[in-house]
Amino acid sequence: MSTKWVIGDLHGGLKGLVQLLERAPVASDDQLIFLGDYVDGWSESAQLIDFLIQLQQQFNCIFIRGNHDVYCHNWLYKDELDSTWINHGGVATMKSYSNYTREQRLKHIDFYEQLHNFHIDEENRLFIHAGYTSMHGPEKETHESMLYWDRTLWEMALTMDQRIQKDSKLYPKRLLLFNEIYIGHTPTLQYDSSTPMQACNVWNIDTGAGFKGAATILNVTDKTCYQSDPLPELYPTEKGRNN
């Protein structure tokens, strides 16, 4: 039986992704679900996208859209420079594209345009970059951007009173919609955890690869996880998203 793997934020850390695929027992018929934020941080954002484009020729891959991917797409497609993006990893991403031809950039634009805002599998598990605010689920989200920006879903799960039962009217309807929810976006390092965190039925797989943490891949079935070396060790002359 094939295995389903979920991969957290990478932020231009191609070396981290390579280590994940070397360390995890990923088979050719397995499914890889990436939670977004492929760019902005370390120096190999464009090269990481090249790697992902090739990877989908070998594996069944699903690529979710992250907020940083939106920034990069807007820059490549519309030449749109967002000051927030510039200050949060965009400079390194632009440098990684410095020698790319128009044809190569168009290929990447096509990749960004095919990203999924979320994915729901056959076992009613949701894979999404950030979260959603609608009690009816991500399909009913009023503003698409919330799917790759929202933090309230994770914060709500973290602060849930464990005494509240699922059949209680007090239990958040958002959490009842799915058996499990997998997110990135908010580094677990903020909670002094270098490994994936679970709160209620929400799993946070962003272990801070854009900062001082490692990249992470997790087996969705048994929750076994594998990690790269901390990204600053793989890019010792760089700062990533660390100020």
User: What's the pLDDT tens digit per position in 125-163?
Assistant: 999 999 999 999 999 999 999 999 999 999 999 999 989
pLDDT of 9 over the 80 cut: yes
34 contacts: CB under 8 Å, gap ≥ 6:
6, 7, 10, 52, 61, 62, 63, 64
Euclidean distance between CA atoms 151 and 106, whole angstroms: 32
Q: What is the pLDDT of residue 1?
A: 79
pLDDT of 243 over the 80 cut: no
Over the stretch 41-81, which tens digit does the pLDDT of each residue have? 999 999 999 999 999 999 999 999 999 999 999 999 999 88
Q: Percentage of the chain with pLDDT > 70?
A: 100
Question: What's the mean pLDDT in 3-19?
Answer: 98
Q: What is the pLDDT of residue 80?
A: 85
Of residues 2, 7, 56, 1, the one with CA closest to residue 182? 7
Euclidean distance between CA atoms 157 and 159, whole angstroms: 6
50 φ, ψ to 5°?
-55, -45
Name the token pair of 143.
């503003």
Question: What's the mean pLDDT in 217-230?
Answer: 98
The fold of 4-234 is: Purple Acid Phosphatase; chain A, domain 2 (3.60.21)
